[in-house]
């Protein structure tokens, strides 16, 4: 982005006084809190399924959406923009998921004379395409594991596979969150994997583009938090360990990452910040990487707040959601801070313990614990319905300790004290992972949950 375009945008930016939150659940409530603490008015929207959410009373204004399904509610751009204008909002915060990384929506917000609380739409486009993002970051000196360009047909896939080697993974270029990924062990399975990945990518993201990447069996998933301002400066806020996953979805995150050389992590984080500064990236972003036996490889950049942002907030003392708003308003970066202590987050989902499918119903009892060193982020309250229309995340339980062991102990006690009735949850699985000897030793990788589940099934079968 040129300095001229930065200057023009800065001059035309309105002062932020009222923020429309184009999202729901825990992140909507989190943004309301940030707005309240900054002295800003907040406007929330809600579908009929979220009519009982606690943040409707905590916000300055609340407006109903007409539909239940995401496409009729939180993905309805025109409806959201109409409410923004009706409410007098001068800024829109997209949260995570939904429209948070949609460049078309971001431009519509800006064209309507409002501030989009996120990076310039050009970065949503550049980083939204995983193939282009990998190429761009590799050109700037960040390592990537072996991969291909866009796959156009089975012949180009076979040629790329010969260079990468098996096993490999087929990935959608325009999506994330593990959706559509297909692991391929040999060339015989390539064509079927391409067809399956293409179908999922087209349905989930409206973009059927695919690429290939080297498959690493048991990597660590490490991400780096970046802040960047409108003046061309960027800083890093250390790493988050996100390896504890199930079906490519994160379950437990922590900071700092256990058992990896801190100097290596520091170099990677500083490199990421330096690249963002040199490219002119603005606002908040997260660089996601894989770590394997001393090697690191860039995966993608998320141009939005992460679900697990609270982990970084706890070890730095910096409110990332407030920083998003302040940076979007033209403020400079905060002062660098040291990492202090250890923080860990677990994601409590409404799901059936046997089938691992979402569990729906009315929260007859929903009593989060109130404990020292523990923070609960949720968009639910007792008596509210958990519907089938949206993500099954009930709450995030975040614990801070002087040591990793203390943080683990606190989050475990909090989970065991969390009284939830009316839906099934994954609390038992989370506690099992937290008490696992491998996890306690810091020997984590993306396959740890499956190993724990497999060991549990073997014991049950005896």
Contacts of 312 by beta carbon, 8 Å cutoff, 6+ apart: 225, 237, 238, 240, 255, 318, 320, 343
- Specify the pLDDT at position 5: 43
- pTM listed for this prediction: 0.93
Q: Quick one: pLDDT band at residue 402, thresholds 50, 70, 90?
A: very high
Q: How far is CA 236 from CA 43, 66, 230, 289, 301, in A?
A: 30, 40, 16, 15, 14
Q: Which residue has the higher pLDDT, 458 or 351?
A: 351
Tell me which CATH code domain 3-117 carries.
3.40.50.20
- Specify the pLDDT at position 456: 78
**pLDDT tens track for 266-301:** 999 999 999 999 999 999 999 999 999 888 999 999
Q: Hey, do 3-117 and 146-214 end up sharing a CATH topology, with the first three levels equal?
A: no
| Ranges 8-12, 38-42, 144-148: which has the least confidence | 8-12
- Specify the pLDDT at position 7: 40
**pLDDT tens track for 235-272:** 999 999 999 998 888 999 999 999 999 999 999 999 99
Pick one of 3.30.1490.20, 3.20.20.80, 3.40.1830.10, 3.90.1150.10 as the CATH number of 146-214. Answer: 3.30.1490.20
- Specify the pLDDT at position 12: 64
Q: What is the mean pLDDT of residues 101-128?
A: 97
Tell me which CATH code domain 220-461 carries.
3.30.470.20
CA angle 299, 197, 199 (to 5 degrees): 135
- Specify the pLDDT at position 455: 85
**pLDDT tens track for 124-142:** 999 998 899 999 999 999 9
Instruction: Say whether pLDDT at 4 is over 80.
Output: no
Q: Is 402 exposed, middle or buried (0-12, 13-18, 19+ CB in 10 A)?
A: exposed
Give me the helix-helix angle, 309-316 and 320-328, nearest 10°. 100
**pLDDT tens track for 168-218:** 999 988 776 677 889 999 999 999 999 999 898 887 777 888 999 998 988
Integer Cα distance of 429 and 311 in angstroms: 20
- Specify the pLDDT at position 14: 80
**Catalytic-role residue among 13, 304, 347, 410:** 304
Integer Cα distance of 266 and 272 in angstroms: 10
Q: Which residue has the higher pLDDT, 3 or 184?
A: 184
Show me where the domains of the chain are located: 3-117, 146-214, 220-461
- Specify the pLDDT at position 392: 94
- Specify the pLDDT at position 136: 96
- Specify the pLDDT at position 297: 94
Instruction: Say whether pLDDT at 3 is over 60.
Output: no
- Specify the pLDDT at position 1: 47
Across all residues in the chain, what is the average pLDDT?
93
Question: 220 catalytic, yes or no?
Answer: no
Integer Cα distance of 407 and 410 in angstroms: 5
- Specify the pLDDT at position 2: 43
- Specify the pLDDT at position 134: 92
């Amino acid at each position: 982005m040129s300095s001229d375009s930065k200057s023009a945008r800065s001059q035309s930016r309105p002062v932020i006084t009222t923020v429309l939150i184009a999202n729901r659940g825990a992140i909507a409530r989190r943004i309301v809190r940030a707005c309240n603490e900054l002295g800003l008015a907040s406007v929330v929207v809600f579908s009929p399924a979220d009519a009982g959410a606690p943040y409707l009373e905590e916000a300055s204004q609340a407006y109903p959406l007409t539909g239940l399904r995401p496409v009729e509610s939180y993905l309805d751009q025109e409806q959201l923009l109409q409410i923004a204008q009706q409410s007098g909002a001068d800024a829109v915060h997209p949260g995570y998921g939904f429209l948070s990384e949609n460049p078309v929506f971001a431009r519509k917000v800006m064209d309507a004379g409002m501030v989009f609380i996120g990076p310039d739409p050009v970065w949503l486009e550049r980083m939204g395409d995983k193939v282009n993002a990998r190429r761009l970051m590799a050109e700037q000196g960040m390592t990537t594991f072996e991969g291909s360009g866009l796959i156009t047909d089975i012949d180009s896939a076979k040629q790329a596979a010969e260079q990468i080697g098996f096993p490999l993974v087929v990935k959608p270029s325009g999506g994330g969150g593990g959706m559509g990924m297909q692991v391929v062990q040999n060339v015989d399975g390539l064509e079927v994997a391409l067809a399956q990945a293409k179908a999922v990518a087209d349905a989930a993201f409206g973009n059927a583009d695919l690429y290939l990447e080297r498959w690493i069996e048991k990597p660590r998933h490490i991400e780096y938090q970046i802040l960047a301002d409108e003046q061309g400066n960027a800083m890093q806020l250390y790493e988050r360990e996100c390896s504890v996953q199930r079906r490519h979805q994160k379950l437990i995150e922590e900071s700092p990452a256990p058992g990896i050389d801190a100097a290596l992590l520091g170099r990677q984080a500083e490199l990421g910040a330096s690249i963002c500064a040199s490219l002119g990236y603005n606002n908040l972003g997260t660089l996601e990487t894989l770590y394997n036996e001393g090697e690191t490889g860039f995966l993608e950049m998320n141009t939005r707040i992460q679900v697990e942002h609270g982990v970084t907030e706890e070890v730095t003392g910096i409110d990332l959601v407030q920083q998003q708003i302040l940076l979007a308003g033209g403020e400079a970066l905060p002062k660098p801070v040291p990492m202090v202590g250890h923080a860990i987050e677990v994601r409590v989902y409404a799901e059936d313990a046997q089938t691992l499918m979402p569990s729906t119903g009315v929260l007859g009892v929903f009593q989060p614990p109130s404990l020292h060193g523990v923070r609960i982020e949720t968009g639910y309250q007792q008596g509210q319905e958990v519907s089938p229309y949206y993500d099954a995340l009930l709450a995030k339980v975040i614990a801070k300790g002087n040591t990793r062991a203390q943080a683990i102990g606190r989050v475990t006690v909090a989970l065991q004290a969390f009284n939830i009735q009316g839906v099934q949850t994954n609390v038992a699985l989370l506690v099992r992972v937290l008490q696992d000897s491998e996890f306690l030793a810091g020997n984590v990788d993306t396959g740890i949950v499956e190993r724990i589940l497999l060991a549990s099934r073997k014991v049950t079968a005896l």
